[in-house]
Chain A
Amino acid sequence: MSASTETANQIDTKGIVVGLVGIYIAGIAASAEIPYLAFLAGIGAVFATKMGADAVRRVCSYGIGTGVPSIGMLALGMGIISAMFGLALGKMYNAVFIGPIVGLVIALAIGFVVGTLANKIIKLNIPVMERCLMEIAGAGVLVLTGLSVMIAGSMDFVVITEKVIATGYIAPVFILGALGILHPFNASLGPDETQDRTLIHAYSCGAIGMTIAGVCSIAVLDPIAGIISIVIGLAIWYVTFMGFVRLVKRDAGAGYVGTGLLPPGAM
């Protein structure tokens, strides 16, 4: 097993705090005509992705019988409803800044209800189901809101509708957000799965989402802000992906060769 492990509480705290702070700094800076800080919302989304990936890791280690991808799609399904409700509510009451927090609270509520339904009615009987689905739904909201704020440069529901949803950029945001949450554990699962390897993979998946959202924001927000986001996203991706490769080599029990041939012992 790996030397460094993070508890669920530490990961949730980091995910929610960094996620919300990133979204708020990006949103407030953009409303003050400084769109160049939009990448901070993307960094918030990366940490939220990690929070979701860790929850997927804990709940799927019980064996849910339907494959890991289902839970990632569930995360974003619950996430999109809550995120849009939060942003719309903020707009309706002329307080756009309550949007992300309302979205998060609604997501936690939906996650708890769906987790309870899965445990009590469908009888999956997974002890961590309620908590993990709350975390997954919360991660879904923060990823969606983070990447949407990053693309639109605003927390205003009307602006996000025009710049992210009507343009169709919501589709890559949706699927990359889901992939970032479901893929790390799906790729790393097995008896030799280690938490640090799965989570560093979550960072790199989140960074891919951030980079693509940066590309989308070139067209709708500001070219320079978009390029800043792309460069930072690529840098995070490079560092974390190289870290992932290093951990894969560390965990490869039978050794490895870099040429694609089988290791000597296997031939």
Chain B
Amino acid sequence: MTDIVTMLTMNWASIIGIVIGGICIAVGVHFVPVGGAPAAMAQATGIGTGTVQLAAGSGLTGLLAAGYMYMTLSAAGVPGISEVALICATGAVGAMIMITVTMIVGNWVYIYGVGVPPASAKKDYDPITGDPQAPYVAAGTVGQGLPTVCFVSGAMGGLLGGLGGSLIYCMLMWVNGDPAISSIFAIGVFLVNAVLPSYNIQGTIEGFHDPKFKRVPKAILACFIASLLCGIIAVTIPGAAMLGGA
């Protein structure tokens, strides 16, 4: 007989992990250059889709990578802290690969297909390369494509998103030991923590150099409370094996 109170007292460490993971996702969302519909028409800097689609895409790729690593490492027993670090690193790299591939292919389409130079409208000079941006922003638009600073920022966003998603997955695996329940739960917690920051961004953001990035503390506070609530609920769910199932 498994009891809620016992589950909560046994798994307090997992709640902390889930909250840290949720905050990583919330901050990661702010790093991803999201252009929304205007970017799809090459009229704004960033990738031409919504925040949630990008965060979910990179997060789920990270989760797949992390799940594979977990399976490999757990062959030698329940993973400890050092194994969890490895799993989270794998998840982060998986998410970074997904988001960078999306950005580089998107840039090919913007440069060779649409015929626009990648340029940021939020800064006159690229903070990383120092290249001038203003002369290349087409009249009537707010930038186009993915200049270097956005690309680097997006890769960092993928890192944080994948790290957070894999951390939540590992914490849930510690609790219930069931990959299916853990992954579907990690997706649920991930989506809540990806949508709340996207309301904070309100549409489009270019990356860490965007003035909207200063809103991050509000998203961290909101996601802290939301992930705490999700974490408390999530760790009280035992795996099917603990309940006498197969």
Please give, as numbers and ranges, the residues of chain A lying within 8 Å of B213 by CB-CB distance. none
The interface residues of chain B lying within 8 Å CB-to-CB of A71 are 195
B-to-A contact residues, CB < 8 Å: 1-4, 36-37, 50-53, 56, 178, 180-181, 184-185, 187-192, 194-196, 198-203, 218-219, 221-222, 225-226, 229-230, 233-234, 236-238, 240, 243-246
Task: Give the interface of A toward B (CB within 8 A).
Answer: 64-67, 69-71, 73-74, 76-82, 84-85, 88-89, 91-92, 106, 110, 113-114, 117-118, 121-124, 157-159, 161-162, 165-166, 168, 170, 174
Given known A-B contacts A117-B222, A122-B199, A92 and B229 have beta carbons under 8 A apart: no
Chain A residues whose CB sits within 8 angstroms of the CB of B225 once the complex forms = 113, 117, 121
Contact A165 B181 (CB under 8 A): yes
Selected from B190, B234, B243, the residue in CB contact (under 8 A) with A92 is B243
Which of A71, A92, A124, A166: most chain B Cβ within 10 A? A92
State whether A78 touches B50 (Cβ < 8 A). Answer: no
Give 12 new A-B contacts, CB below 8 A, not counting A71-B195, A161-B178. Answer: A65-B201, A67-B36, A67-B50, A77-B187, A78-B188, A78-B192, A79-B188, A80-B188, A92-B1, A157-B240, A158-B246, A161-B240
User: Contact at B240–A158, with CB atoms within 8 Å?
Assistant: yes
Residue of B nearest to A165 (CB): B180
17 contacts between A and B (CB under 8 A): A64-B199, A66-B52, A66-B198, A71-B195, A73-B52, A74-B191, A74-B195, A77-B190, A77-B192, A81-B188, A89-B236, A92-B2, A118-B199, A118-B222, A123-B218, A158-B246, A174-B187
- Chain B min CB distance to A106 (Å): 7
In the complex, the number of residue pairs spanning A and B with C-beta atoms less than 8 Å apart equals: 138
With both chains docked as a complex, state the minimum distance between the C-beta of B245 and any C-beta of chain A, in angstroms. Answer: 3
Contact between chains at A118 and B243 (CB < 8 Å): no
**In the complex, are the beta carbons of A162 and B246 less than 8 A apart?**
yes
**Residues of B with C-beta under 8 A to A84:** 181, 184-185, 237
B-side binding surface: helix, strand, loop or mixed?
helix
CB <8 Å contact, B195 and A65:
no
Shortest beta-carbon distance, A63 to chain B, in Å?
A: 10
Residues of B within 8 A of A85 (CB): 233-234, 236-237
Find chain B residues with CB under 8 A from A89 CB. Answer: 4, 236
B191 touches A69 (CB 8 A): no
Q: Of B185, B189, B200, B237, which is in contact with the most chain A CB atoms at under 10 Å from its CB?
A: B237
A61 to B64, CA, bound (A): 36
Please indicate which of the listed interface residues B37, B52, B236 has the most CB atoms of chain A within 10 Å of its own CB. Answer: B52
Provide the residues of chain A in CB contact with B196, threshold 8 Å.
114, 117-118, 122
A92 & B3 in contact (Cβ 8 Å cutoff): yes
List B contacts of A166 (CB < 8 A).
178, 180
CB distance from B220 to the nearest CB of A (A): 10
Q: Is the CB of B203 within 8 A of A65?
A: yes
Nearest CB in chain B: distance from A173 CB, A:
10
Question: CA A64 – CA B56 in complex, angstroms?
Answer: 19
Residue in A closest to B49 when the chains form the complex, CB atoms: A67
Chain A residue at minimal CB-CB distance from B200 = A122
A70 CA to B202 CA in the complex, in Å? 11
Residues of B within 8 A of A77 (CB): 187-192, 195
